[in-house]
Structure 1
Amino acid sequence: MSGFSSFWASQNKVFRISIILLLLASITYGQGNRKPFAIEGKLNLTSWDIDQNPIELNGDWFFYWNQILTPQDGLLSFNQENKNIKSFPGLWTDYEGDTSYPSFGFASYLLIIEGLEKDKEYALKVPDMYCSYQLWVGSKLVASNGKIGRDAESYEPEWRPVTVNFVAERETESILLNISNFDHSKGGIKNSIVLGPVEHLASQKTNEVAANLIRIIGIALISIISLAGFFLYSKKLFTYFSIFSILWSVRGIFSNMYLIYSWIPDFNWTLGTKIEYLTIYTSVLVGYHIFHNLFPNHSNKIISWASIFINSTFIIITLVSPAVMFTELLNIYFGLMGLLLAYILINVIQAYIYDEKGAGYLAVAITLIIILFFYDMLSYYKFLPYNPYITSIGYVILYGLLGYTLRYNQLHKSKDTTFKFS
């Protein structure tokens, strides 16, 4: 015991604070697990104060493959003895068991909620799904995306997260969700549906949209300022950074909240999805090009050409192939880019050690990327409350810091950078 006390006393404050934070996170995680959870298709909210604590409708839902049920059909199916229960939210392509489900198809999910207050208005926060849906509460259709169908000809995909209101007609209500997919490599629903008070979820939606706009506009302004740097300093690298920034700003419109479908409801889903993926590949391609020209002494020729080849290949595949193909390849790409980012981090550290101009600022920027990544991860697993403004403002600061790194580096060079891989 005395050995442990000596060890504890010898540690610095950072170590002790880290241990305390981990303990608090564990406590928070344990408390989060006490939330009501759907069991065998039923979610009991009798003892839950939903006005103070919105609830994710997670747990065991009834699952009906190759069926599109109506509210009446759903209740009839609920009373049947043979009930197929699956974890919700869940991609049917990930479900394990005696039956495997293909990407293309349609299905219904059914949940019975007990403990609602009759005649009270509630709100549902509904995420985008793969790739069209209808959501019924009781006998009323409260939300939909695209057009569900039993084949590719009768269905239309759409991604548009929504927050909708409904009035509980009784204390026990059924929630029926029909989903169709004939485009994406995934099928089903990945994110939770949230039930809560109208004011709370409406405010949350407003904050999420506002935070997303802050990120889009902020990074777009940085792009414009960076482009001005080309004319002021005659440095071509500012143009590349401007392209890099505007690509990520455009991505904000075609991902996350998918604002494009709120602004232009008839915008083609396949085109929008291609733009979402292309902004990833092109921004990485341009971003590595910037890194290579900032620190050419710390960039390997083989890695440089490999980056061009890999990203160009994914760009071409995305342009010419159907969604089911290029969406299937994204995990492979992330694995490859994880290796590339690790390589960049190692070389930035080397550049900092050798006192390369701007390496210190870039190291800070990469540290901020890591902080934002872990914040997103911890908030996703409920260790920390999620605040969309933190990530959005964080990314604006990140791009501003990257732009300053570029300016600092270029102003301390005696001649213009030559744009070629050497």
Structure 2
Amino acid sequence: MSEVKGSMVGTAGWFALILLVVSLTALAPIPSNSQALTAEHGIITVPQLDGNRRFSLEGDWLLKQPGEEEHLQKVPSVAWKQGSGTYSLTLLWEGGPTQFEFFTNNVGTSYELWLNESLVGSSGRYSPVAEQSRPSAKPLIHEFVLLPGSNVLQVKISNFVHPRAGLWEKVYLASKPQLSYRYQKQVAIDLFMFGQLFLFSLLQLSLAIFSTKKSSHVWFALGIMMVALGNIMRNNISIYTLLPNLDYLLFKRAQIITYYLASGFFIYAFHKRFPSSTVILLARIFFWGCITMTVVSLFLPYEVIYPLAIGFFPIMFLFLMYRVWVQLGTYRSSLLHRSKVSAILQIIADILLAYGMSHDFVGILLARYDVQMIPYMTYLYVALYTVVLARDYILADKQTEEAKNQIILTAAHQKQQLANDLHDGVAQMLHALDFMTEGLLQSNHIDMKILQTIRNTSKDAT
């Protein structure tokens, strides 16, 4: 009793430590190699360039919206839900004419970038009229030349689709070609992970052909395919490299749906490993909940499915942390049928994915959305679970081979035992019968006592 109580206390201690670490790291911003330039009253002084630096333009920008007075607005932040507005920032530059690059992940759903009253570039089609505005989530890098003295940068934004709008993600400025290089590097990383994930899914389908636990490998493979598609859309850089004319609402719906399906498939792939029928039932309910949300996301307006998708983050986080709790509690017993490495890797994978969910959820709430961890954490989750399933498959295959060898050895032993019994028992009796029968034939008379012995020996042999 005391041993069980001590084990529960140990499990609770480890779980509390894990929960604390995940929560603190989710709240902490990801370290950036960019230098923050904070605007005061809509003015920023751009420092002289000394190396490969990029600047994040933050602080108080001037914002002008239809029907309102111009006022200061914190960037990054959410300024309105639907409508249009113009952000203005004065850039003070003391150097000579220098070519710079401008980049932001998403400033709403469409925008135009102006410098000194000249149009630099746009994303989607900007218009203060809803019917004329065309949204886009395509990230773009714009080039312009900063002149000595004062330069007025304006970002005209229109949004009539997304529940949040404004300059609510990081805005970067750097000398050419620093941002272009980072953009290309990000595309390469995204496409690499995309290809790797599909290779992982093919591996799982291959294992399903030979494994006795086919359903786990098949459901996990389907989950990997969905998360591969979801990741390439969530970073929304590489997806436009592949599909440059992708419709905005179709893109956003597909992004949400793929993660719903991936979550359901991942949970269902391992639901039979839970220790109790109650937990297995909850896992199945979660799976069907993901399927239901997928169907709902096909038909409901985007402004409705968006908060539902945001609310899914903490639900998935709680389910993953509950699974960590269950695995910590059953860690010792799980070692009876699986390796120690597999048990530990499975716990680490769930912790990493829970961290990704919590980090991005906090980022959305705090309008701190420039770095998204879900694509990277899902990649690590898949990689670790691929190792777990491969090790379990190899272990099961090894156990099957050992069982076959044991059967062969047992059969050989039984055969040898039977041969020994025949030689030492029946063969000796048959030899005795032959000896006694030969003696009667040579004596040329019937001996009833010997005949009786012959009959008894024959019965024993039979």
Query: TM-score w.r.t. structure 2 length?
Result: 0.69
Within-5 A mapping of 1:126-205: 126-205=104-183
Structure 2: tracts of 5 or more residues without a match: 1-23, 365-369, 401-462
Does the aligned pair in 1 maintain the 2:253–2:298 contact within 8 Å? yes
Question: Deviation digits for residues 312-340 of structure 1, max 9, x if unmatched?
Answer: 33222211111111112223221222211
* Map of 2:285 onto structure 1: 306
Does the aligned pair in 2 maintain the 1:40–1:60 contact within 8 Å? yes
* Map of 1:361 onto structure 2: 345
Secondary structure of the corresponding residue to residue 297 of structure 2: helix
Does the aligned pair in 1 maintain the 2:34–2:56 contact within 8 Å? no
Could you tell me how far 1:223 is from its partner in structure 2?
A: 0.8
* Map of 2:91 onto structure 1: 113
Relative distance call for 1:262 and 1:316 in structure 2 (3 A) is same
Cα distance in 1 between the residues matched to 2:34 and 2:349: 35
Secondary structure of the corresponding residue to residue 37 of structure 2: coil
Relative distance call for 1:333 and 1:311 in structure 2 (3 A) is same
Query: Kindly, what percent of the aligned residue pairs are identical?
Result: 19
Question: Deviation digits for residues 235-256 of structure 1, max 9, x if unmatched?
Answer: 2321111111111111122111
Does the aligned pair in 1 maintain the 2:317–2:357 contact within 8 Å? no
- Return the match for 1:347 from 323, 326, 330: 326
Cα distance in 2 between the residues matched to 1:276 and 1:154: 25
Cα distance in 2 between the residues matched to 1:35 and 1:233: 53
Secondary structure of the corresponding residue to residue 184 of structure 1: coil
* Map of 1:66 onto structure 2: 66
Secondary structure of the corresponding residue to residue 249 of structure 2: helix
Within-5 A mapping of 1:380-391: none
* Map of 1:4 onto structure 2: none
Does the aligned pair in 1 maintain the 2:217–2:269 contact within 8 Å? no
Cα distance in 1 between the residues matched to 2:265 and 2:146: 52
Relative distance call for 1:257 and 1:329 in structure 2 (3 A) is same
Within-5 A mapping of 1:2-41: 35-41=36-42
* Map of 1:399 onto structure 2: 382
Cα distance in 2 between the residues matched to 1:33 and 1:264: 29
Secondary structure of the corresponding residue to residue 245 of structure 2: coil
Secondary structure of the corresponding residue to residue 250 of structure 1: helix
Cα distance in 2 between the residues matched to 1:203 and 1:271: 29
**AA at the equivalent of 2:126:** I
Relative distance call for 1:105 and 1:115 in structure 2 (3 A) is same
Question: Deviation digits for residues 22-76 of structure 1, max 9, x if unmatched?
Answer: 9xxx9x99x999953101111122x554654321111111111138xxxxxxxxx
Q: Does 1:92 align with 2:79?
A: yes
* Map of 2:411 onto structure 1: none
**AA at the equivalent of 1:224:** L
- Return the match for 1:273 from 252, 255, 262: 252
Q: Does 1:286 align with 2:268?
A: no
Relative distance call for 1:319 and 1:165 in structure 2 (3 A) is same
- Return the match for 1:244 from 210, 223, 226: 223
Could you tell me how far 1:360 is from its partner in structure 2?
A: 2.9
Q: Does 1:324 align with 2:303?
A: yes
Secondary structure of the corresponding residue to residue 39 of structure 2: coil
Which segment is superposed worse, 285-294 or 32-41?
32-41
Relative distance call for 1:191 and 1:303 in structure 2 (3 A) is same
Cα distance in 2 between the residues matched to 1:228 and 1:34: 47
- Return the match for 2:239 from 247, 260, 270: 260
Relative distance call for 1:327 and 1:367 in structure 2 (3 A) is closer
Cα distance in 1 between the residues matched to 2:110 and 2:34: 30
Which segment is superposed worse, 155-164 or 367-376?
367-376
Does the aligned pair in 2 maintain the 1:226–1:241 contact within 8 Å? yes
Cα distance in 2 between the residues matched to 1:387 and 1:61: 22
Q: Does 1:123 align with 2:101?
A: yes
Structure 1: tracts of 5 or more residues without a match: 1-21, 68-76, 94-102, 381-385, 416-422
Question: Deviation digits for residues 263-301 of structure 1, max 9, x if unmatched?
Answer: 322211111111100111111111111121233548614
Relative distance call for 1:226 and 1:254 in structure 2 (3 A) is same
Does the aligned pair in 2 maintain the 1:261–1:267 contact within 8 Å? yes
Does the aligned pair in 2 maintain the 1:298–1:351 contact within 8 Å? no
Could you tell me how far 1:155 is from its partner in structure 2?
A: 1.0
Cα distance in 2 between the residues matched to 1:259 and 1:348: 36
Relative distance call for 1:253 and 1:116 in structure 2 (3 A) is farther
Which segment is superposed worse, 199-208 or 317-326?
199-208
Does the aligned pair in 1 maintain the 2:324–2:351 contact within 8 Å? no
Could you tell me how far 1:141 is from its partner in structure 2?
A: 2.1
**AA at the equivalent of 1:142:** V
Does the aligned pair in 2 maintain the 1:226–1:238 contact within 8 Å? yes
Could you tell me how far 1:221 is from its partner in structure 2?
A: 0.9
Q: Does 1:232 align with 2:197?
A: no
Q: Does 1:83 align with 2:79?
A: no
**AA at the equivalent of 1:183:** V
Does the aligned pair in 1 maintain the 2:53–2:178 contact within 8 Å? no
Secondary structure of the corresponding residue to residue 277 of structure 1: helix
